[in-house]
Amino acid sequence: MTPGLRQRYRRVLPIGLAVVLILVFCSLGNWQLQRRAWKLDLIRHVEQQLQQPPAPAPGPAAWASVAGPQAYLPLTVSGTFLHDRETLVQAMTRYGSGYWLLTPLRTDRGFVVLINRGFVDPAHRDPAARREAQQAGAVEITGLLRLTEPGGRLLQDNDVAEDRWYSRDVAAIGAARGLKPAELAPYFLDADDDPNPGGWPVGGLTVVQFRNAHLGYALTWYALALMIAVGAWRVLREQSDPPIAGRED
């Protein structure tokens, strides 16, 4: 390779790489702005849903259409609790570490829906410690529709054999408690803050909050693109400037 060709490659390759990086970083910034617009729409949608009056819990005919846009929709359902099939799911709330109490409710419309009745601390995990809350007979529950949480948490899988639950996996909990899949709603309800007899479980602890850091991510990608552009411009300018001839005295 001749010196002239080698020098040309030294100029073209860094600039070409810089152009590729600038395009990639700008594309990532644009994508984050799109994600931000989507997240803001989601937040507005959920806030509007939370203001709606409770609707009847979806029955079997509507289960196939239950999806993300319906999350946090206020619902109401009436029926009878199946207290002998309740499930404790590990939770962390403002009351500390404990459990979500999920109890199946056989509705007066024939199907079963899991009700997250609320939080219990370790001292009240045993049903005998909250006997007053084991209500018999018909009850009416108002709460928020929540989507199933299959599998477990990020680093902790649900252990069906040991009856250890880290997420509210409707299908897995239903199978472990002997509930028929055809009768079990694919969602669960977070009960509202109406006090339970005896004070436990504590309902109404649903956290409706969405992390929205997409603008910061977008600015970071754009800043990286700008840094690459400035660096490429400086390299190009230095290579274009003629060398300063030495001066003899």
* pLDDT greater than 80 at residue 210: no
157 neighbors 86 (Cβ within 8 angstroms):
no
* pLDDT greater than 60 at residue 245: no
Reduced to 3 states, what is the DSSP secondary structure of residue 58? Answer: coil
CA nearest neighbour of 88 among 73, 104, 101 = 101
pLDDT at 181: 96
Domain 73-199 classification at class level: mainly beta
More confident residue, 43 or 124: 124
Average of pLDDT values for 142-149?
Answer: 97
Percentage above 70 pLDDT, the chain? 91
* pLDDT greater than 60 at residue 5: no
The model's pTM: 0.80
Helix (H) or strand (E) segment spanning residue 123: none
24-59 pLDDT, tens digit each = 999 999 999 999 998 888 788 888 888 899 999 999
Average of pLDDT values for 145-170?
Answer: 94
pLDDT at 6: 60
CA nearest neighbour of 208 among 194, 196, 190, 195 = 190
Question: Confidence class of residue 249 from pLDDT cuts 50, 70 and 90?
Answer: very low
More confident residue, 106 or 14: 106
Opening angle at CA 99, ends 97 and 102, nearest 5: 160
